Structure 1
Amino acid sequence: MIRVKTTSIVVYISLLVGLIACKNNNPTNTKSEESLPKNDGFISIFDGETLNDWKGNPTYWSVENGNLTGIITPETLLSKNTFIIWQGGEPSNFELKLEYRISEDGNSGINYRSESIDSIPYALRGYQADIDGKNNYTGQNYEERKRTTLAYQGEKVNVNPLGNSETKSSLAANIEKNCWQNREVTKSLGSKESLLAHIKKDDWNQVHLIVNGNRMKHYVNGVLMSDVTDNDTTNRTMSGKIGVQVHVGPPMKVEFRDIRLKEIAD
């Protein structure tokens, strides 16, 4: 009797060990290599804690609750737009992803392929993905301190080369009602109403910029808001600084988080 019991126990234990081994070797109980997170090539350029690698006026820029935050108060109203500028490079072809939240009266933007202005502290000149709290301009392509509006919301645009040397010498001659005149709208990306339905007010929104060669696409929450092909070899820029803005106007607050950059190989 004792021998039979011992044998039964041994057999039972062997069966149990075998079942456990089979379970552990079952692919349905193991994360496959395909299901593991993959590196998408983006790197974080804001650490969520400090302003390391960013340079701006501390009167307006700080880190609050893990967000890069720009604030204008009644006591700190601006006479000129001011930026906080990333110091990590001047990329040419890249993708940039971030999330933003802005107050209703806020006006801001994401500059890229931009240059600093020596005579004005923390100022940038160059392409901008516009952002505002009322969403009158959010997603459009506006060139700060240069050719002004290149594409409004919902426009696919070709910016054409300038003609004679006289017009080349004066940007102002080609600007009317804050819009560059040497441009051609080639396609509608949707009505203003349909596009604005995808943008949240007083909440977090995602921006994705794809800047490659002379083409610049601005997405908000996955929706293409403007698409510019810049054929103006005289005035376009192909690399430069990245920065975010607080704009002249009433008191406002804008916050940015999860700022990530992926450079595109030439």
Structure 2
Amino acid sequence: MVKYEPKSLFMKNITIPLLFFLTFFICSCSTGEKREINTLTDKEKSEGWELLFDGNSMNKWKMFNGGEVTGWKIVNSEMHNSGGGSDHGGDIITKKQYENFELFLEWKVAPESNSGVFYHVQEGMTDAIYESGPEYQLIDDKGWPEELKNWQTSGANYGMNPPEDAEVKPIDEWNTTRIVVKNPHVKHWLNGKKVVEYELWSDDWKANKAAGKWAEAPHYGEAKAGHIGLQDHGGLTMFRNIKIREL
């Protein structure tokens, strides 16, 4: 004969360990979500990552072809460009130069805004940052008022290599960008997906340059090392969690 156990006791025996597990799971997830922005974990520090923005100051940045940063703002621990207003400051670059590196950052743009991330930028050769170093494009793909060419969309090597299967998040959400430069090999990631890959100074790269937007920009992409740059171009762009490690 099978002994009958009252339902209330049976449910109690199941519910207590289940509640314990759920509580542990929820707390664990919550702990992971509470990581502060603009910080490095102990693991990242041991891997050689360096913060380029700590949420409090712009002391690792300067104006392209200029001095102290102007026009850019820190808002809620985010780096904001001028938004194209009357206090337009211009493009900024890191004070330090990099050759081979992995760069990570988060970004979002306001409606109908356009910006970019540059690398291997050299000063004094041109007045335009985009005529110096290659650009990882950032733009409001879905809300841009004109039709975009494929090499103008987010994640592209602007003017050179269009992204493949790139997916930009809604306008009010943060996107993630990762750029790996290991001369001459370059890879672009957008929101965890590799979208561009190319070889600097290869025959294909030279052909793209000669046939496109940079044909009359002799210094474009020629440097093997240089500054990281952020563009103050058209509309508001916001950045956070900007970090780099040299390879």
Tell me the TM-score range normalised by the shorter chain: 0.5 to 0.7
Instruction: State the shift of 1:75 in Å.
Output: 3.6
Deviation at 1:58, TM superposition (A): 5.0
Could you tell me which residue of structure 2 aligns to residue 19 of structure 1?
Answer: none
Does 1:130 find its partner at 2:137?
yes
Quote the residue 2:160 is aligned against. 150
Say if 1:121 and 1:51 are closer, same or farther in 2 by CA, change over 3 A: farther
User: Which residue, out of 74, 84, 89, partners 1:63?
Assistant: 74
Q: Partners in 2 of 1:51 and 1:153 — Cα distance?
A: 30
* Partner amino acid, structure 2, of 1:138: S
Greater share of strand residues, 1 or 2?
A: 1
Equivalent in the alignment of 1:224: 194
Larger Rg: 1
Report the alpha carbon displacement of residue 73 of structure 1 after superposing the two structures with TM: 4.2
Note the C-alpha offset of 1:77: 6.7
Shift in Å at residue 90 of structure 1?
1.2
* 1:232 to partner: Cα distance: 4.0
- The answer to whether residue 242 in structure 2 is matched with residue 259 in structure 1 is yes
Q: CA RMSD in A?
A: 2.7
- Label 1:96 to 1:75 Cα distance change in 2 as closer, same or farther (>3 A): same
Evaluate the alpha carbon distance shift between residue 116 and residue 69 of structure 1 in structure 2; reply closer, same or farther with a 3 A threshold: same
Gaps of 5+ in 2: 1-40, 143-147, 207-220
Quick one: which of 42, 48, 60 aligns to 2:49? 42
User: Which residue does 1:241 correspond to in 2?
Assistant: 227
Q: How does 1:172-251 map to 2 (within 5 A)?
A: 190=165, 195-196=166-167, 198-232=168-202, 236-247=222-233, 249=234
Residue in 2 aligned with 1:140? 156
Separation (CA, whole Å) in 1 of partners of 2:110 and 2:181? 27
Q: In structure 1, what residue type is equivalent to 2:59?
A: N
When residues 201 and 63 of structure 1 are mapped into structure 2, their CA distance, relative to the original with a 3 A threshold, is: same
Asked if 2 retains the 8 angstrom alpha-carbon contact of 1:134 and 1:201, the reply is no
User: Following the alignment from structure 1 to structure 2, what is the Cα–Cα distance between the partners of residues 83 and 111?
Assistant: 10
* AA matched with 2:79: L
Deviations along 1:85-132, whole A, 9 cap, x unmatched? 110x21110000011111121110001011124663877621111100
Q: Partner of 2:93 in structure 1?
A: 85
- State, as a whole percentage, how many aligned pairs show the same letter: 26
Aligned equivalents of 1:121 and 1:130: distance in 2? Answer: 15
- Aligned residue pair count: 176
Query: Which residue does 2:59 correspond to in 1?
Result: 52
Q: Contact 2:108 / 2:238 at 8 angstroms: preserved in 1? A: yes
Query: Distance between the aligned counterparts of 1:77 and 1:258, measured in 2?
Result: 23
Instruction: Find 2:105's aligned residue among 98, 102, 106.
Output: 98
Q: Quick one: distance in 1 between partners of 2:227 and 2:85?
A: 29
